[in-house]
Chains A and B, each alone.
Chain A
């Protein structure tokens, strides 16, 4: 377990061997035989689950939570809880009005589940330090949070009602900046802006709504000396150049991306990159050998700015 090696890789530097991050998420709950919803609401269980997973997988870094409903919930979106999954957002306060008209306010440390995360980080951080494992803070990116706030209409609004979409995504970016501040204060070593739905739009839409609304959060992270990253899911091929230019020290992608393409792009833009052990085909379904798949990923990723991680 090696914190500095992971930070170096996330910043695009050379490492002797690739560091490793399991995005354990609610799998942490499974490992300690607790339901996901119970763990996510209980700071002691959350800390226990995260530290246990870090030990079990000999992680160089581990997210405190991988739950993109935290920010939305902290400004008033309702959730549906699942015993074996992350919560889903069930209401969209901006489905027919702007954030200002809906009376939404930026979250404080007391909003929603932020107190749970602060307390869990306080418990987990010294234990992870002892293991030489980075604590990672993950927050919801502007387009995904925009979708949580306004619902699926945001993907029509980015073309048809640009002023409305811009207002929603700007507010989402401001919430992201608050989340970044909170994670800096919790003492996270790496903070990632996670915007999975940003893969489902065109590059020009990414430039218009995602890039500008990542700048405030990225500045907060980078100015604090913390390492920043941008996580994207799905087939993000069409927006990968934009991802490289978003301003974070690096990025991470999922199993649908070609690792050779990603490696070459990351090196061109001198940023770190992470991925992409096949979460579904290998780890979940066993259709591919996880061992062989890991070898393929590691061989493609190499030793320069690469972090081995599930995709």
Chain B
């Protein structure tokens, strides 16, 4: 069983599309304690892997944030607390749920955004010949 909460952000392209960029940033700006509990990836539908993920998750609109394969935020950039609540609902254990909920009043953290975005491959797979290795 996976020990991290899986988040897929399905985008047009987080560099070109501002809405997609801020969907990605909403995850990348989560506090470090949350970062330790999640694994997230940008899936740009400019490449085949992204289209595959779009179909697999039954995404209807771009951008969409999927948490544990549920399309949760569809063309709505989430508020911090909304993100925390939706992640907590899908936590993989009671302990994880409690840890996530304990951070509900923390708020976004902008110190490591670029590092976190790079880790998620944001903007790195936006060509039609790109592959997303997952």
Contact = CB atoms under 8 A, between A and B. Distances in A.
A196 B126 CA distance: 19
Contacts of B18: 68, 144, 147, 196-197, 233
A253 B111 CA distance: 34
Interface stretch (A54-62, A113-121, A155-163, A210-218): A155-163
A310 B98 CA distance: 46
Given A85-B126, A151-B110, A153-B107, A233 B51 contact: no
Interface of B: 12-19, 21-23, 25-26, 29, 45-46, 51, 61-63, 74-81, 107-108, 110, 113-114, 123, 126-128
Nearest to B28: A152
Contact of A235 (B16, B29, B61, B128): B61
Give the interface residue-count category, chain A. Answer: 20 to 34
A135 B24 CA distance: 33
A199 interface: yes
A284 B76 CA distance: 25
Nearest to B23: A200
Contact of A84 (B29, B113, B114, B127): B127
B42 to A, nearest CB: 12
Contact of A156 (B13, B63, B108, B127): B108
In this complex, the member of A82, A92, A233 whose beta carbon has the largest number of chain B beta carbons within 10 angstroms is A233
B126 A156 contact: no
Interface of A: 68, 80, 82, 84-86, 88, 90, 92, 95-96, 144, 147, 151-153, 155-156, 159-160, 196-197, 199-201, 233-235, 256, 279-280, 284-285, 287
A33 to B, nearest CB: 17
Contacts of B107: 153, 156
Contact of A151 (B16, B17, B29, B79): B29
B128 A199 contact: no
A256 B79 contact: no
Contact of A153 (B13, B29, B61, B114): B29
